Amino acid sequence: MTNKSFWITLFSLGCLGIYLFVSAPPPLDDDKTRQAIIPVEQMFTLLQEENAAVRALWTKEIIGEGQKYGLKFDEHWRDADLDAGPLPALFLRETAKSMEKSPVRLSLFLGSDYPISPDNRFEGLQQKKFQILRQSQLAQFFYVPDTGLHTGMFADIAVAAPCIECHNKHEQSPKHDWQLNDVMGAVTWMYPASVVTLEDMLKAVMVLHQGIQDAYAAYLKKVKTFANPPVIGEHWPRDGYYLPSLEVFMQAFLQNTAQHTLPALGALSNTRQNNPLKERDHGIVE
């Protein structure tokens, strides 16, 4: 990570911390669990909004605009002889891989009932909940006894032609008639507790931001090996054969998400202040 990237990320997370500090009431007591009055579903929803924002930025501004000027994106983007970047689902996978390195027990994956990779197929309770989601397109929140994890599922809707074309043409795909606006799968979050503190939520946001930064950094590293690499700097693909630097990309992402993340955290802070409920009222899971 460059020094500039480090300070931009640190500044953005510092803003979150400052916002919480000035808006949150004093701790209820020294026992962290007694502050854990925020349902994990609210954390999942906040994280999904952040994920949806970077997904839109990547799909529209990098892939959509980049393809117009010759940038390519492929499932085998890491192959040394292929000058390409990751498709949206693979960008999410890169983000998730980075998140797995964190001590925060937050997991993210993209599953489906018709995945290209069998490893991404929903089974058991997840499959049942996904079928409900497919019909309603409403987020599903549930507890999985086998794993001891609370889960949040959000519809992954086909909004980009490259995703549809990849699945429909792929030899290993079990389904070849995907269409725009189909529910292709579900972005799935998992966490080991039913309630969280504001500190927990801030840590989760930080972990996701780091994952996104690492995913884009991995792409830029690959780009530098291209036979004809685009210019990396302040310009975006909409301007030509360019890519934004890591700092510029993250700054755009953070600007897009701050408008909903900061108010959401502030609202949760006020909720804690107005509802000083105790541990026994929420069935806290250690």
Half-sphere exposure of 7 (CA within 13 A, CB side): 2
Tell me, yes or no, whether 141 lies in a domain.
Answer: yes
pLDDT of residue 76: 92
Tell me, yes or no, whether 108 lies in a domain.
Answer: yes
Residues 101-157 pLDDT 10s: 999 999 999 998 888 778 889 999 999 999 999 999 999 999 999 999 999 999 998
Domain count of the fold of the chain: 1
- How many Cβ atoms sit within 10 Å of the Cβ of residue 252? 16
Tell me, yes or no, whether 58 lies in a domain.
Answer: yes
pLDDT of residue 269: 67
Cα gap 225→227, rounded to integer Å: 7
pLDDT beneath 70: ranges in the chain: 1-36, 160, 162, 268-286
Tell me, yes or no, whether 33 lies in a domain.
Answer: no
- Domain range for 158: 39-275
Cα gap 177→243, rounded to integer Å: 33
Question: What's the predicted TM-score (pTM) here?
Answer: 0.82
Backbone φ, ψ for residue 130 (5° rounding): -65, -35
How many percent of the chain have pLDDT more than 70? 80
pLDDT of residue 261: 86
Question: CA of 77: how far to CAs of 82, 183, 218, in Å?
Answer: 6, 25, 11
Tell me, yes or no, whether 243 lies in a domain.
Answer: yes
Find where tokens 């290209």 sit.
116
pLDDT of residue 271: 57
For the chain, how many helices (H) and strands (E)? Answer: 8, 8
Tell me, yes or no, whether 284 lies in a domain.
Answer: no
Tell me, yes or no, whether 154 lies in a domain.
Answer: yes
Q: CB pairs under 8 A, 24+ apart, for 239-248?
A: 240/69, 241/69, 241/70, 241/71, 243/62, 243/66, 243/71, 245/220, 246/1, 246/2, 246/5, 246/213, 246/216, 246/217, 246/220, 247/2, 247/4, 247/5, 247/8
Question: Is the separation of the CB atoms in 276 and 31 below 8 Å?
Answer: no
Residue-wise DSSP of 165-216:
HHHHH-TT-S-----TT-EEEEEEEEES-SEE-HHHHHHHHHHHHHHHHHHH
pLDDT of residue 109: 93
Tell me, yes or no, whether 17 lies in a domain.
Answer: no
* DSSP three-state, residue 233: strand
